[in-house]
Structure 1
Amino acid sequence: NDEMLIPVGDEDDADVIVSVKDFKLTTSAVKLNPEKHYFNQFPYESVLVMKHCLADCLRKIYGNCPYFQESYYGVTNLPAFIGRFMEREKLKLENTWILKPVNSARSSDHVITNNLDCIIRHMETAPRVIQKYLHNPFLINNKKIDIRLWVVVRSFSPLEIYIQKYCYARISSNDFDMHESNLMDWSKHFGLEDRDAGEYNVGPMFEVVEEAFNKTGEDGWKKMEAKIHKVVKDVFRAAVLYKPEIHNEKCFAIYGIDIIIDQELNPYIMECTFQPEFSLISEVKPTFLSEIYRCALFGEETGMHRLF
């Protein structure tokens, strides 16, 4: 319901092409006119949205990245991971890992385990990233949370990036529990009410998240927000350094950034999602879609915070 954003049925009548398919698949199927059309994704953005590519990007640019949990791509780095797992066992370090398919969403087919044999067996089923599981997350009322942010990229060169001021936290249905018998209990480890249906338990919204962090100290949420913004900025800086050809002046993109925070109030990026789901946030904030797309297409900053 925005007079400046009108859906049309024919690409010839469109100024903007919005697709959920891969850039190459879309550009081969749609008659993009570079003189007219804007497109809702950048070439080579797999460096951000594919889990193993993001891990490789951050590792190559920053080395031991402080806000990305230790990760290994099971297809190419399984021997290195096995060595690391055994080293941690010998040192008696916490040794729980999460296995993530490289191109999944909504925690689909994720596995949490501290069993090396289990990890090796799962590597045979699909390409996965093996990532150290955050065993000491920040909790709200003993429930695990992660925070979903929405980021608009208007340009990678120069960087022009905005973040939606409103966020929400996905909260686990039951109390967080790291006991071995509960590692695969989705109600304790993920903000999903119904894993099969993919329905999120979107518990505390922005105000409740803000309140929870303000209890950690003066200006608690403001300080946490600054830390999160730094993480997001560093991720997109890394993408440009790693893959300069990601920029295209006729492209824009909207990403969902998932952040988890530990008990020492350190934020970590979980993943970056292309063209994220908007229905939940739109129910709570009816102006959300208008603000996001007006920012992406016209550079308007209502409801947004500019990072670059």
Structure 2
Amino acid sequence: MRQSLIAFPNLLDRMLDLMSIKQTSRDRADLIEAVCENVWKYCRYYKVSIETSGDMPRPSSESQQIRWYVPDEVGSRIAHSDQPNGRMVPFFYIPRGVCYSVFWSNCDLLEGDELTLDYVEHIKDPILRPLYLLPWQPGDFSDEPVQHSFVLSEEFFQSHRVQETLPVDSSTSESSVGESKLPLAVFTDIELVSKHLTDPRFKLVTAEKDASILWIYGHFKSFKELTEDRRHQMVNQFPGEQVVTVKDLLAAIASLWASSTNMNDDCTQEDCIDNRLTCNWYPITFNLVHELPAFVSYFQQKQDRINTAEAPSPSVCAKAACPRKQIRGSRAASADFPPTCERNLWILKPWNLGRGLGINISENLNQIIRLSDTNPLIASRYITDPVLFYREDINANVKFDVRYVVFLRSVHPLKLYVYNVFWLRFANKAFCLSNFDDYNIHFTVMNYRENDTLKQIHCDEFIQLFNEQYPNTTWRDVQANIYNTIVDLFVAASSNPAPRGFVPCDQSRALYAIDLLLEWRTRKVGPIGAGSQCHFMHPVICEVNYSPDCKRACQYHPDFFNHVFSCLFLNEESEKCNVTQLA
């Protein structure tokens, strides 16, 4: 919307009049910001299905797009009422590609009657209605409890559980797969696997019944039948793995882990609350379907603290060898940093979409409320102080994230490996805490965007550049912390029985891609005052992907799937598979 307001001055003038925003002496940028902030009181939405293409199957929900629109001056003047006298719905006229708003009354109207609508007519719960009406009817909900409750319960996990049968107990040893007669027959419906699995110890077959290994994209549900079948087939999935691959379940796992590990009493009241809400490798997250009251309360409490807080002092590091010293780039050029005010910023993600789809960043509670009405979403604390990477080609410090591919061979005992090649994804513009609708500033997934630049740097080159840019630390140390975080994740995800954790299965193997950010955090190094804290880099998990897009992996490392299958199904030594054993 911002770009449209910039490009069409008349549209801005019309929106200002529609919203009754006085222009006074404010400059145009401020007026555009005011419209973007207030538009959530006026806009409505509809969903359209679009054609998708690609070499990988995609869930049907990824083929839907949400289109926001603002009714004209007449439609925008129709007020809310809990006892409305009419309804208004979008009507999409396909021949012209135009969407109209159709209004009709639901009772007899007299001359002079005011037209009204129920803005949240689909919300019947008396507890939730005031929350969904916040954009039009402000209220204070900061006294509501913020602690997680339902999302930690077995009922919540059970409601997400795919109806899969669980494996029966088996005495089959893990090594028996590698002792099977070679070559092992592989059935796969994934083109990249069939094209790049060239190791002669494996052969492709066209029927599932003839295979020793099933490497499939769709969700496998018949684990009981699998373990009872004498063919002793292997499959590339674990029962219960959705606890890490589905975003709201991963957030719940992090909260469960926090309740068993965060026992630090030496913290402020706010920090203690945060420590109970999540663990240190996952941002504070609320499920907006089940925890909207808790989220609104947390948001309003935090906003109150921000509004009453004193201006922060510059962050001065006491250590001469502060890891934040950066050779190039202005933002982190020394150990003395300008004060950064706390922000109430949240990133909203659909529960079960990938490829950066449907994600928004906002500190506008009205916007968050409206977006939460479109799809099942989680709201996670946005990382406002990420470790940046200097891109010489654009002379800017940009946001980046790291993707590690891990192989899970066993849950109990945990046998976990990480591929020695990792992948980087970079934003295309200098990072800043503004313009949150500018994809090239705040997002790094460019693979599927035709008009955006995809910056590629091999991990070996990245390590060298990173060590040059941050001379007071090494990627080896950073990666060691990342490895510990990955292990912690899988320990947390396998610490509880189904449905709140992985289910052990001798005939299961799996590959996952883990996306992480690095965040600047501080630790105490002396008495309170100037120089009492030192910065360090801390890994934060963004998401875990099942059956990730491995196109780049195969393009630059043609033996990738040979390594995957050798590690998982032949139990080959780590050195031969280009992996490092983590657990």
Task: State the TM bucket, normalised to the shorter chain.
Answer: over 0.9
One-letter amino acid of the counterpart of residue 291, structure 1: H
- How far is 1:33 from its partner? 3.5
CA distance in 1, matches of 2:380, 2:398: 21
Worse-matched range after superposition: 187-196 or 80-89: 187-196
Worse-matched range after superposition: 239-248 or 13-22: 239-248
Q: Which sections of structure 2, spanning at least 5 residues, go unmatched?
A: 1-197, 260-274, 307-341, 391-396, 521-535
Q: Corresponding residue for 2:176?
A: none
CA distance in 2, matches of 1:31, 1:242: 22
- How far is 1:87 from its partner? 1.3
Alpha carbons of structure 1 residues 86 and 118: separation in structure 2 relative to 1, 3 Å: same
Question: Does residue 280 in structure 1 map to residue 552 in structure 2?
Answer: yes
The 4+ residue runs of structure 1 with deviation greater than 4 A are 26-32, 194-200
Q: Are the counterparts in 2 of residues 69 and 268 from structure 1 also a CA contact under 8 Å? A: yes
- How far is 1:197 from its partner? 5.5
> Which residue of the other structure, out of 421, 429, 441, is the alignment partner of 1:166?
421
Q: Corresponding residue for 2:398?
A: 143
- 1:209-228 alignment, distance < 5 Å: 209-215=462-468, 216-217=470-471, 220-228=474-482
Cα-to-partner distance string for 1:56-77 (whole Å, 9 max, x where unaligned): 1111122331111110011111
Question: Does residue 292 in structure 1 map to residue 564 in structure 2?
Answer: yes
- 1:192-203 alignment, distance < 5 Å: 192-193=445-446, 196=449, 201-203=454-456
Q: Corresponding residue for 1:131?
A: 380
Alpha carbons of structure 1 residues 120 and 70: separation in structure 2 relative to 1, 3 Å: same
- The alignment covers a number of residue pairs equal to 305
- How far is 1:41 from its partner? 0.3
One-letter amino acid of the counterpart of residue 11, structure 1: E
Q: Corresponding residue for 1:7?
A: 204
CA distance in 2, matches of 1:198, 1:89: 37
Worse-matched range after superposition: 210-219 or 86-95: 210-219
Cα-to-partner distance string for 1:250-279 (whole Å, 9 max, x where unaligned): 001000000100234111000111111111
- 1:51-130 alignment, distance < 5 Å: 51-63=247-259, 64=275, 65-92=279-306, 93-130=342-379
- How far is 1:20 from its partner? 1.4
Question: Does residue 261 in structure 1 map to residue 522 in structure 2?
Answer: no
CA distance in 2, matches of 1:111, 1:5: 43
Q: Are the counterparts in 2 of residues 259 and 267 from structure 1 also a CA contact under 8 Å? A: yes
Q: Are the counterparts in 1 of residues 287 and 379 from structure 2 also a CA contact under 8 Å? A: yes
Cα-to-partner distance string for 1:23-77 (whole Å, 9 max, x where unaligned): 32x7699999464210000011111101111111111122331111110011111
Higher helix share: 1
Secondary structure (helix, strand or coil) at the match of 2:481 reads helix
Secondary structure (helix, strand or coil) at the match of 1:106 reads coil
Cα-to-partner distance string for 1:213-271 (whole Å, 9 max, x where unaligned): 32324561110011000100000000111335611110010000001002341110001
CA distance in 2, matches of 1:16, 1:288: 17
One-letter amino acid of the counterpart of residue 205, structure 2: V
CA distance in 1, matches of 2:451, 2:563: 26
Cα-to-partner distance string for 1:175-228 (whole Å, 9 max, x where unaligned): 22221xx10111111223365569882522212331243232456111001100
TM-score under structure 1 normalisation? 0.92
Alpha carbons of structure 1 residues 245 and 268: separation in structure 2 relative to 1, 3 Å: closer
Q: Are the counterparts in 2 of residues 191 and 202 from structure 1 also a CA contact under 8 Å? A: no
Higher relative contact order (CA 8 A, sep 6+): 1
TM-score under structure 2 normalisation? 0.50
Identity score, percent: 27
One-letter amino acid of the counterpart of residue 408, structure 2: V
Q: Corresponding residue for 2:484?
A: 230
Q: Corresponding residue for 2:457?
A: 204
Q: Are the counterparts in 1 of residues 283 and 540 from structure 2 also a CA contact under 8 Å? A: yes
CA distance in 2, matches of 1:292, 1:211: 27
Q: Corresponding residue for 1:183?
A: 436
Alpha carbons of structure 1 residues 89 and 235: separation in structure 2 relative to 1, 3 Å: same
- Structural RMSD (CA): 2.3
Q: Corresponding residue for 1:239?
A: 493
Secondary structure (helix, strand or coil) at the match of 1:266 reads strand
Secondary structure (helix, strand or coil) at the match of 1:192 reads coil
Q: Are the counterparts in 2 of residues 173 and 193 from structure 1 also a CA contact under 8 Å? A: no
Alpha carbons of structure 1 residues 245 and 146: separation in structure 2 relative to 1, 3 Å: closer
Q: Are the counterparts in 2 of residues 70 and 132 from structure 1 also a CA contact under 8 Å? A: yes
CA distance in 2, matches of 1:194, 1:236: 28
Secondary structure (helix, strand or coil) at the match of 1:262 reads strand
Alpha carbons of structure 1 residues 34 and 137: separation in structure 2 relative to 1, 3 Å: farther
